[in-house]
Amino acid sequence: MATANVTKVDYYELLSVSKDADGQEIKTAYRKLAMQYHPDRNPDNPEAEAKFKECSEAYSVLSDAEKRAAYDRYGHAAFSGGGGGGGNPFQGAGGGFAGQDMGDIFGDIFGEMFNMGGSGRKGSRVQRGRDLRYDMSLEFTEAAFGVEKEITIRREEVCNDCEGSGAARGKPAATCPQCKGAGQMRFQQGFFSVARTCPRCGGTGTVITDPCKTCQGRTTVEHEHRLTVKVPAGVEEGTRIRYQGEGESGKYGGPSGDLYVVLSVKKHKFFERDGDDLHCVMPISFPQAVLGTELQIETLEGAESIKVPEGTQSGKEFRLRGKGVPHLNERGKGDLIVEVRVATPTKLNKQQRELVKQLGETMVVENAPHSRGLIDKVKDIFS
């Protein structure tokens, strides 16, 4: 009986990559095809399953430098015992691929796509310590000019008795009985195996059988820690100061977390802050607004004088350069903006009332409703 001659598809054509494609291009192409033809996505579809196996076979060869070199030289014959005049160094006893089994391939590719597990290496318990937050309240002037304050925080620190191992002295961790020290458990799913992190040891391959009595196996204990916080000039509400490594200690050799000092600033009785500028309102009397005056203004750094000219209107603003809040981490300061408001007296004695009345009879307010000038302007508009 004649035997049919079956020609295998070229591996590069199968994965749709060029012969000079690098490892990452081959891996990406295989991932795409594996997702497309995976049996879980194509149930009861033998053609898809066959295609999936072909792609996996192609990837197992082209992803291995030695196999790929042999394939480039001899083609499929390199894996059928007829290439190069000798035996096939890449073929296992059962005719499969001895250099890289299917479980390793799927651990690499499908572990990324479906979180099915890694490549068989042990995991690690190394954990970074938690970040901590401390809320600090500041007076208005402390935020403006900076201050140093000592604070006390409670944080988890490495246990001195077990030096962070979690095990009692002289009692090292034992091999995990569930995974036998492998750090992973393998499960068969269809025609390939999947590795998952061991739930007993967390992937380390070891377990603590005799925990430290001081930390109860937690590796850390709570301590009070004092720290001097240096608040720079110019901070404002919500500013965060980060102290790297001043958070809780890491576990099993992991780095410590950070401490974040979050600032809140109390309001000032006289000033309002807008960025690095300060605003305030200064009341003046009617005679001061009319005749002009010189005002003494308290700033954050002492008294300053402002000359108010004659005829100043209520709401007029005067700017004092450089009398505001220092710029954070920069040179210079904001400004102090003083708004003058004419205060209307609510109570007058008999003499004052008479004087104001006399003044009112002698004054004509420009553009007042009863003035002839305003009436003439209205007539001009509608004429």
Q: Tell me, what's the pLDDT at 241?
A: 95
CATH superfamily for domain 11-114: DnaJ domain (1.10.287.110)
198 carries a ligand binding annotation: yes
Neighbours of 24 (CB within 10 A): 8
179 carries a ligand binding annotation: yes
Q: Tell me, what's the pLDDT at 370?
A: 52
CATH superfamily for domain 132-169+216-265: Urease metallochaperone UreE, N-terminal domain (2.60.260.20)
Please choose, from the candidates 63, 190, 220, 167, the residue with its C-alpha nearest in 3D space to the C-alpha of residue 116: 190
Contact 222, 155 (CB under 8 A): yes
Domain range 272-344, CATH class: mainly beta
Cα dist from 84 to 11, 28, 77, 87, whole Å: 19, 31, 8, 8
176 carries a ligand binding annotation: yes
Rounded to whole angstroms, the Cα distance separating 62 from 25 reads 11
Rounded to whole angstroms, the Cα distance separating 305 from 336 reads 12
Q: Which residue has the tokens 């500041």?
A: 138
Going by C-beta distance under 8 Å and a sequence separation of 6 or more, which residues neighbour residue 276?
A: 234, 324, 325, 326, 327, 328, 333, 334
Using one digit for the tens of pLDDT, what is the confidence trace for 85-121? Answer: 444 434 433 333 433 344 444 444 444 444 444 444 4
Q: Tell me, what's the pLDDT at 273?
A: 95
Neighbours of 299 (CB within 10 A): 17
Please choose, from the candidates 185, 176, 180, the residue with its C-alpha nearest in 3D space to the C-alpha of residue 208: 176
pLDDT < 50: residue spans in the chain: 1-6, 81-121
Rounded to whole angstroms, the Cα distance separating 93 from 113 reads 31
Cα dist from 91 to 58, 61, 88, 94, 185, whole Å: 14, 11, 6, 8, 27
Using one digit for the tens of pLDDT, what is the confidence trace for 151-184? Answer: 999 999 999 998 888 899 888 888 999 888 888 8
Q: Tell me, what's the pLDDT at 24?
A: 87
Rounded to whole angstroms, the Cα distance separating 70 from 62 reads 10
Q: Tell me, what's the pLDDT at 368?
A: 54
280 carries a ligand binding annotation: no
* Domain boundaries along the sequence of the chain: 11-114, 132-169+216-265, 272-344, 350-383
Strand extents, DSSP E, the chain: 132-138, 147-158, 174-175, 184-189, 192-197, 206-207, 220-231, 240-243, 259-265, 272-274, 277-284, 293-299, 302-308, 317-320, 336-342
Q: Phi-psi region for residue 310, left (φ > 0), alpha (ψ -120 to 50) or beta?
A: beta
Q: Tell me, what's the pLDDT at 327?
A: 95
Structure tokens at 197: 């992190």
Rounded to whole angstroms, the Cα distance separating 195 from 180 reads 14
| Residues 200, 155, 202: CA angle, nearest 5 degrees | 10
Give the single-character DSSP code of 79: G
Rounded to whole angstroms, the Cα distance separating 290 from 307 reads 13
Cα dist from 190 to 103, 106, 111, whole Å: 11, 12, 16
Strand extents, DSSP E, 118-160: 132-138, 147-158
55 carries a ligand binding annotation: no
Q: Is 82 exposed, middle or buried (0-12, 13-18, 19+ CB in 10 A)?
A: middle
Contact 212, 162 (CB under 8 A): yes
Fold equal for 11-114 and 132-169+216-265? no
Give the single-character DSSP code of 77: G
Q: Tell me, what's the pLDDT at 173?
A: 84
Please choose, from the candidates 57, 89, 93, the residue with its C-alpha nearest in 3D space to the C-alpha of residue 73: 89
Identify residue 171 by its one-letter amino acid code.
K
